[in-house]
């Protein structure tokens, strides 16, 4: 039976699924198409059966998404701010049993690729470090055509059906009447939408977690989000979920740190990626898959066609089958990073889509938005979008910005010109060409969701209860911050009512943090279940305690011990860290030996939020001067409250005292040696957090 119906004209309130119903006593203007046709259901796209594919005839969906795709030019409507790099993919284990796609069957072959990371909500001119979902899109230039795996750094999404995507983005973007806030979800319209869409509950747990404030693009996981299919030579289908795992581990910042980074360096992530590749520290990810037969998918306690659900690794382990290395920066940001066009419809033979209604809408939307943004049906001819492993050839001709010079008369198919000795052009390949999985459609044409999509809270509960106490506190704190920016009380109350279905303790912590009464729990469409916790969903405790990919800032003054500076720098570099020398002035300092040490950054412009650990190598006179400089006090105080290791010379003690630094295991006298300092510098000091920050 279906669980989501369109609002009846005389119906009144907020339904179990969050939909808003109108009443005779409180009439509302009805939604129509742009041509005045009344819309009976604005919540569900038209499908062949509740779990079937979306139908092309759904003019309501097509008009709504097409209008949305063309709202702005020239930047992307979402994922506008991006950074990218070239690299290669190498398969390490064949999936020939499951697919005929050569990129997933030819072990050892290196395939060129281009990867773009991005924020979702902000414009191209926003900053790198807001609380936001991050795009993770990979274009493989395979010998069977381009494969675009277009995903995020979070494995689930806010909505179940693509017809709601314009509403989601309108809600999270700048409010229509005032043009702010930029790149932020902490405002009324976003949380109003979320409160009315309980299906977003799971995604909200991820978006409010530390996953949404990554330390680096090199330290993000990537997910295909949607469920896809693999097809073998016999057209036997296997469901698949795609995963990217960073070799540096999944790591994040603290919220206060992310805010300060935005002011200190709006290009923090972009610079970090570019400089790492430029210096030869090539980012690397493992590529993994979760594979399920139809029977195994049917046995799960949730629907894998629902993009608001994930498959816990404890249920279906991730099989690592390859690796991606990014080893070359773009030569031109605009020509490559900005003009790159990713399409979920780009798939080589052997990879296919599922009936996921979010994915089904994406199959239309991405192509359409590229037509608007890049201005031509020939955007595939731009060098960054062209196939590399194989030629492209068909009978599509002309159009704006056509760069190909076609010869001969054959611009149609079938044709018999080859019989007269003329060029007849390419032909279909029934054997090696792309074939769709022979999956039967389920039933009649409907605007309904399957009742297997009705559980909106079980996986949200799973995610929260799988986190460490540290991460749970951060998540609650994020919700308090976001909801504190909401002006309309009824919006906060609705979100809190929904949170009770996720976890009563979480809802209570957030209400207490806001200083408001906890409302009665909302009534879920389906009673949430308690699933076994999944430790794989955590960040804390999973990433390696290593200096690889981390940045060390050494604050140095005149007359400081140059030998000590060199010893710390050499040891940090040997362990894979990058090192920056920070001085009161950009001209550098004159060391005790009389040698001039150049500076990589000036103190006022190089705050400690830009580093993962700091060392203070000061002279007595240099420290005395810094005591009158607020930037120096902030440098030390912020490193301490952001839970970073601090190495110091005895001469720096007065500055530590002024900054309020209390002794602990990660505040290390450098007289103990560089290694004693660098060991705690390899990770955050979570034990310190209760001493420096009050969390809900």
Q: Specify whether 642 is catalytic.
A: no
Radius of gyration of the chain from its Cα atoms, rounded to whole angstroms: 27
Largest CA distance in the chain: 93
Residue 229 forms beta bridges with which residues? 239, 352
Q: How many other C-beta atoms can be found within 10 angstroms of the C-beta atom of residue 629?
A: 14
Q: Which of 79, 86, 202, 243 is catalytic?
A: 79
Decide if 7 contacts 19 (C-beta within 8 A): yes
Give the single-character DSSP code of 585: S
Taking Cα atoms as reference points, which of 224, 507, 187, 192 lies closest to residue 351? Answer: 224
Taking Cα atoms as reference points, which of 325, 210, 216, 340 lies closest to residue 271? Answer: 216
Beta strands 134-142 and 578-583 are: unpaired
- Give me 428's structure tokens: 């279909």
DSSP letters spanning 432-453? TS-----PPP-SSEE---BGGG
647 vs 657: CA distance, rounded Å: 14
Beta strands 237-246 and 445-446 are: unpaired
Taking Cα atoms as reference points, which of 190, 192, 184, 170 lies closest to residue 71? Answer: 170
Phi and psi, residue 550, nearest 5°: -95, 160
504 vs 521: CA distance, rounded Å: 9
Distances (CA, A) of 31 to 7, 38, 43, 360: 11, 6, 12, 23
Taking Cα atoms as reference points, which of 241, 310, 307 lies closest to residue 449? Answer: 307
Residue 287 forms beta bridges with which residues? 244, 322
Taking Cα atoms as reference points, which of 375, 378, 364, 385 lies closest to residue 75? Answer: 375
Distances (CA, A) of 410 to 187, 381, 394, 423: 57, 20, 10, 7
What secondary structure, in 3-state letters, does 114-139 show? EEEEEECCCCCCCCCCCCCCEEEEEE
Q: Which of 44, 146, 152, 329 is catalytic?
A: 152
> In Å, how far from its chain's centre is CA 253?
15
Q: Specify whether 456 is catalytic.
A: no
614 vs 639: CA distance, rounded Å: 7
525 vs 451: CA distance, rounded Å: 9
Beta strands 551-556 and 613-617 are: parallel
Residue 231 forms beta bridges with which residues? 237
Q: Which residues are catalytically annotated?
A: 79, 152
């Amino acid at each position: 039976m279906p669980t989501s119906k369109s609002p009846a004209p005389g119906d009144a309130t907020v339904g179990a699924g969050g939909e808003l119903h109108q009443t005779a006593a409180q009439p509302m203007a009805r939604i129509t198409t742009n041509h005045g046709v009344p819309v009976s259901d604005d919540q569900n796209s038209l499908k062949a059966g509740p779990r079937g594919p979306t139908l092309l005839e759904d003019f309501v969906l097509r008009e709504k998404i097409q209008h949305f795709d063309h709202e702005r030019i020239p930047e992307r409507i979402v994922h506008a701010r991006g950074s990218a790099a070239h690299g290669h993919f190498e398969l390490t284990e064949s999936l020939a049993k499951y697919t005929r796609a050569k990129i997933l069957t030819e072990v050892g072959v290196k395939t060129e690729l281009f990867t773009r990371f991005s924020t979702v909500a902000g414009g191209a001119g926003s900053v790198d470090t807001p609380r936001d979902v991050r795009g993770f899109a990979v274009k493989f230039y395979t010998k069977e055509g381009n494969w675009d795996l277009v995903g995020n750094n979070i494995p689930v999404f806010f909505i179940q059906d693509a017809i709601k995507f314009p509403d989601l983005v309108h809600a999270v973007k700048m409010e229509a009447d005032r043009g702010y806030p930029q790149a932020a979800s902490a405002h009324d319209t976003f949380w109003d939408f979320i409160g009315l869409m309980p299906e977003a509950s799971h995604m909200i747990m991820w978006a409010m977690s530390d996953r949404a404030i990554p330390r680096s693009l090199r330290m993000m996981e990537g997910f295909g989000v949607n469920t896809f299919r693999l097809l073998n030579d016999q057209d036997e289908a296997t469901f698949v979920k795609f995963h990217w795992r960073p070799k540096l581990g999944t790591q994040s910042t603290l919220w206060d740190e992310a805010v300060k980074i935005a002011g200190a360096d709006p290009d923090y992530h972009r610079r970090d990626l570019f400089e790492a590749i430029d210096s030869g520290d090539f980012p690397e990810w493992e590529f993994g898959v979760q594979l399920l037969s139809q029977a195994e998918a049917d046995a799960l306690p949730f629907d894998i066609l629902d993009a608001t659900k994930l498959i816990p690794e404890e249920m279906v382990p991730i099989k690592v089958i390859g690796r991606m290395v990014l080893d070359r920066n773009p030569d031109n940001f605009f020509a490559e990073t900005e003009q790159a066009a990713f399409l979920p419809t780009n798939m080589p033979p052997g990879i296919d889509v599922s009936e996921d209604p979010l994915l089904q809408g994406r199959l239309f939307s991405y192509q359409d938005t590229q037509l608007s943004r890049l201005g031509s049906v020939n955007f595939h001819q731009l060098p960054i979008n062209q196939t590399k492993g194989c030629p492209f050839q068909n009978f599509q001709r002309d159009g704006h910005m056509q760069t190909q010079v076609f010869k001969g008369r054959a611009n149609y198919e079938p044709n018999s010109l080859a019989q007269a000795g003329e060029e007849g052009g390419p032909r279909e390949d029934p054997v090696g060409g792309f074939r769709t999985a022979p999956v039967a459609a389920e039933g009649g044409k409907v605007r309904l969701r399957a009742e297997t999509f009705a559980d909106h809270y079980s996986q949200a509960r799973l995610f929260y209860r799988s986190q460490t106490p540290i991460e749970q506190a951060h998540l609650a704190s994020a919700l308090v911050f976001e909801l504190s920016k909401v002006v309309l009380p009824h919006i906060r109350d609705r979100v809190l009512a929904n949170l009770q279905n996720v976890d009563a303790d979480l809802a209570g912590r957030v209400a207490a943090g806001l200083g408001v009464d906890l409302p009665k729990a909302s009534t879920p469409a389906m009673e949430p279940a308690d699933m076994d916790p999944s430790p794989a969903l955590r960040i804390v405790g999973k990433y390696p305690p290593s200096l690889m990919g981390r940045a060390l800032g050494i604050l140095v003054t005149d007359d400081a011990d140059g030998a000590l500076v060199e010893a710390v720098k050499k040891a940090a570099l040997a362990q894979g860290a990058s090192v920056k020398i920070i001085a009161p002035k950009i001209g550098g300092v004159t060391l005790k030996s009389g040698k001039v040490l150049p500076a990589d950054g000036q103190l006022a412009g190089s705050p400690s939020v830009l580093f993962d650990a700091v060392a203070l190598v000061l002279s007595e006179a240099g420290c005395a001067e810094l005591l009158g400089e607020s930037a120096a006090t902030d440098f030390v105080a912020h490193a301490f409250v952001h839970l970073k290791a601090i190495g110091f010379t005895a001469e720096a003690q007065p500055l530590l005292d002024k900054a309020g630094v209390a002794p602990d295991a990660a505040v290390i006298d450098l007289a103990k040696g560089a290694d004693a300092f660098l060991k705690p510098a390899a990770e955050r000091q979570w034990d310190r957090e209760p001493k420096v920050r009050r969390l809900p």
